[in-house]
Amino acid sequence: MSFARSRRARLVELVLVSSSSCSCGHGASWADDELPHSVSVDLLGAVIAPVKADKTPWDGAGNLPGSVGSALADAFEQARPYEAVLSALASLVASAFDKPDPSGTAEPRGTVLPTLRLDSASENTLTPVWRPTPRWRGLPLRPDVQLLVALEDQDVLGSEPIETVSIGHSDLATSLRSGGVYPVDVHKQGRGQLLFVTVLVTPSRSE
């Protein structure tokens, strides 16, 4: 892939991920006792920290620009942290700063639904979009059911973990109530190397 095509791909990818905000739907005022018994869940993408927990880059050498680090440190204090994080990362989209090659799995816990692969539409990215989109139909919306998302950085010489996070009942219910694509904030889980997981939750068609 040429540099020009690669740059366009990264910009398109950022647009796709940035459109995955909780403001894209009007929402619904589901009371707790009105929530559907089961939902359909699409796992759309993720936002990965630009450096590891020890501040080293995912691949190669180099240092994170100070302006990006400062913007990220402030992002989670903003009213709309997802958009603030994407804004902080925007300067890295088409830069030579080394990024991970993410892939992974998503495993429903507390149900018999299958574990699905997470394959990124592009390499060397902090904002993977999963293709094909992992989708579960009829996921029980119960407190004991969660999605366990495990990502790793795939390299020629092997792979290393990015993060393993859980998306629980309250996250799924909040996404459902948002009425659209919802970025689940996971940056406090594990080592803080995975920042958001974007999901779309809708009522099962049978309900």
For 72-86, the DSSP string reads: HHHHTTSSSHHHHHH
pLDDT of amino acid 32:
84
pLDDT at 27 over 90: no
**What pTM does this model have?**
0.86
With a cut of 60, say whether residue 102 has pLDDT above it. yes
Domain hosting residue 33, numbered range? 3-203
C-alpha to C-alpha distance for 53 and 76, rounded to whole angstroms? 17
151-to-45, 140, 193 alpha-carbon distances in Å = 11, 24, 10
Point out which residues pair with 147 in neighbouring strands: 108, 167
Per residue in 140-168, is it b (16+ CB within 10 Å) or e — as a string?
A: bbeeebbbebbbbbbeeeeeeebbbbbbe
Q: Indicate if the pLDDT at residue 5 is higher than 50.
A: no
Q: Quote the Cα angle for 75-128-79, to 5°.
A: 20
Spatial separation of the C-alpha atoms in residues 184 and 22, rounded to whole Å: 9
Tens of pLDDT, residue by residue over 128-181, are 999 999 999 999 999 999 999 999 999 877 889 999 999 999 999 999 999 999
Does the pLDDT of residue 201 top 70, yes or no?
Answer: yes
d(CA 16, CA 13): 5
CATH number at residue 50: 2.60.40.150
Number of domains composing the chain: 1
Look at residues 24, 207, 52 and name the one whose alpha carbon lies nearest to residue 126: 52
